[in-house]
Amino acid sequence: MPVSDLAHELGLGVEKRSDLRQRARLEILETDDSETATIAVQDGLDRNVTRFAVAHEIGHAILLRKYPDAATRWDVDRREVFASAFAAELLTSPEIRARMAPSFRTLGDPLALLKLASQLGLSPVALLTVAGQERLWIEGLEKIWLRVKYSENAFTRRDPKLRIVSASYDKYRFYIPTNQSLTRFAGDDRWLVSLPVGTVVRHSTTITLKLRRPAPAMPKFVSKEVPAGLSAVRLQPSAADPVAYLIILADMAPNSSEG
């Protein structure tokens, strides 16, 4: 069933808006005796981005309707994680996720990721969301997928630079802080200057990881420098997100059978 049809089955309207500044939002209008819920979606988005955006907002609606106490207690970040996880579950069946695990594990660069996302009818961000939830896709993998954007510090709102905004990796082995600058993770970022949209560029460097130590060892993580091959692609900005972002693959075993 198309995701927009599912929204209608759940009593949610779906409207495309040319003046919407974000990809999508759930709008609820309450009167004395009724409630109207609409998913507003920015007009002109890529089809796969639209599908994920609508599924994401359905997730918000389900949270509000089925788990109102949790929706009230949770902060914005936790509600967003729930909605993204719901969307990934909705758009990819368990059978598809299990079947696609080998394909994801053998991806060699971000362009290959974009191709796989298109085959599955997902946006690149949605595909990385799925990967982060599936141990079969990510466990034991010597690869770290990053989404990087030129942005201010999320807390201070200062110091704009290339920063890691999300990361998909084996969380049982590593920890990659988000909001950190790319230079702190992988050194000099000048190799990314003037990178054209849709073109892969490669770079060899040393990345700084936090390795998880077995419990009850303290501290839980220890920093380590590891050689890695990086490949990056810049994605086309959109009206909803006018700042172009990069997808970067850090491969710690570039000559292995999985690289």
pLDDT digits (tens, 9 = 90+) for 148-166: 999 899 889 899 999 998 8
Q: What pLDDT score was predicted for residue 239?
A: 55
CA 186 to chain centre: 20
Domain count, the chain: 2
Note whether residue 257 is domain-resident: no
Q: What is the pLDDT of residues 124-151, one digit of tens each?
A: 888 888 888 888 999 999 999 999 999 8
The pTM of this model reads 0.77
The answer to whether residue 256 scores a pLDDT higher than 50 is: no
On whether the CB atoms of residues 83 and 56 are closer than 8 A, the answer is yes
- Structure confidence at residue 44 as a pLDDT band (50, 70, 90): confident
Sign (positive/negative) of CA torsion 60, 63, 69, 75?
Answer: negative
The reply to whether 144 falls in a domain is: yes
Question: What is residue 255's predicted lDDT score, i.e. its pLDDT?
Answer: 60
- CATH number for the domain that contains residue 174: 3.30.450
Specify whether 155 is located in the same domain as 85: no
Res. 244: pLDDT tops 80: no
Instruction: Answer yes or no: do 67 and 103 share one domain.
Output: no
How would you write the chain as a 3-class SS string?
A: CCHHHHHHHCCEEEEEECCCCCCEEEEEEECCCCEEEEEEEECCCCHHHHHHHHHHHHHHHHHHHHCHHHHHHCCHHHHHHHHHHHHHHHHCCHHHHHHHHHHHHCCCCHHHHHHHHHHHCCCHHHHHHHHHHCHHHHCCCCEEEEEEEEECCCCCCCCCEEEEEEEECCCCCEECCCCCEHHHHHCCCHHHCCCCECCCEEEEEEEEEEEECCCCCCCCEEEEEEEEEEEEEECCCCCCCCCCEEEEEEECCCCCCCC
pLDDT at 34 over 90: no
Query: How much is the pLDDT for 168?
Result: 93
Q: How far is CA 229 from the centre of its chain?
A: 21
The yes-or-no verdict on residue 217 having pLDDT over 80 is yes
- pLDDT of 253 > 90? The answer is no
Residue 57 sits in the same domain as residue 84: yes
Q: In the predicted model, is pLDDT for residue 120 greater than 90?
A: no
**Whether 70 and 123 share a structural domain:** no
Residue 258 has pLDDT above 60, yes or no: no
134 assigned to some structural domain: yes
**Beta sheet of 12-17, edge-to-edge order:** 12-17, 35-42, 24-30
Q: Kindly state whether residue 258 falls inside one of the protein's structural domains.
A: no
Contacts for 89 with CB less than 8 Å, ≥ 6 apart: none
Has residue 109 been placed in a domain? yes
For 251, what's the count of Cα atoms within 13 Å in the CB-facing half-sphere?
Answer: 22
Is residue 160 a part of any domain in this protein? yes
Range with top average pLDDT, 81-95, 187-201, 238-252: 187-201
Domain check: are 229 and 107 in the same one?
A: yes
Angle among Cα 142, 114, 59 to the nearest 5 degrees reads: 90
Same domain? For 121 and 226 the reply is yes
**b/e burial code for range 20-50 (CB count within 10 A of at least 16 → b):** beebbbbeeeeeeeeeebbbbbbeebeebbb
pLDDT of residue 187: 94
The predicted model gives 237-241 an average pLDDT of 60
Rounded distance between C-alpha atoms, residue 56 and residue 123, angstroms: 12
Per-residue confidence band for 241, with pLDDT thresholds at 50, 70 and 90: low
Render pLDDT for 91-103 as a digit per residue (tens, 0 to 9): 888 888 888 999 9
Range of the domain at 31: 3-89
Domain check: are 79 and 125 in the same one?
A: no
